[in-house]
Amino acid sequence: MSRIGKKNIEIPKGVTVTVGSDNTVTVKGPKGELKQAIDRDITVVVTDSVVEFKRPTDQIRHRALHGLYRALVNNLVNGVTIGFKKELELVGVGYKASSQGNLLDLALGYSHNIIFEIPSELKVSTTQEKGDNPRIFLEGIDRQLLGQVAAKIRGLRKPEPYKGKGVKYKGEYIRRKAGKSAGK
């Protein structure tokens, strides 16, 4: 058995989990509603306060999907109760970030600023304190969407290995290179 797949998901108070006829799991909670389509081979059983996942055989495909869908539905339950957050940091001279609504204005050393539109499901905020790197805070209930948007923002100027300049996740370690050796 999959170690993750055989774990049951505890449903917190205020959260309802329903399985549709097309094997779609819908999770409603205090922060919103999320849906996830489940493969037809995986059976989802919802009881009073527990969601359980069952697979028909021990085929490699079934074992892989067993743990996958359990993890995805667990992310839905956590998203509608707690929510998810990502923090990005801009390292470099002149790198700036500002937000107005769902538009993120980034100055990343290119000739023009980059205007990045954040999906309406996410909230964005920025801080820029003196002596500290500018930071971008992303919040939302959909973990997949949040990670994808954060990765796209990071991809606009990835951290380079010599000085570490660029957009990085908070706490991300950047492996450094030595650079040119000293003169003759």
Residue 43's domain spans which residues? 9-81
How far separated are the first and last CA of the chain, in Å rounded?
63
Instruction: Assess if residue 22 is contained within a domain.
Output: yes
Provide the number of structural domains found in the chain: 2
User: Where residue 56 sits, what CATH number does that domain have?
Assistant: 3.90.930.12
What average pLDDT does the segment 112-117 reach?
95
Cα 104 to Cα 65, 122, 135, 137, 140, distances in angstroms:
36, 12, 12, 11, 16
d(CA 9, CA 40): 19
Read off the pLDDT band of 171 (50, 70, 90): very high
| DSSP one-letter code for 12 | P
60 and 98: one domain? no
Q: Which pLDDT tens digit goes with each residue over 42-100?
A: 999 999 899 999 999 999 999 999 999 999 999 999 999 999 999 999 999 999 999 99
d(CA 125, CA 87): 10
Output the six-digit token pair for 184.
């003759």
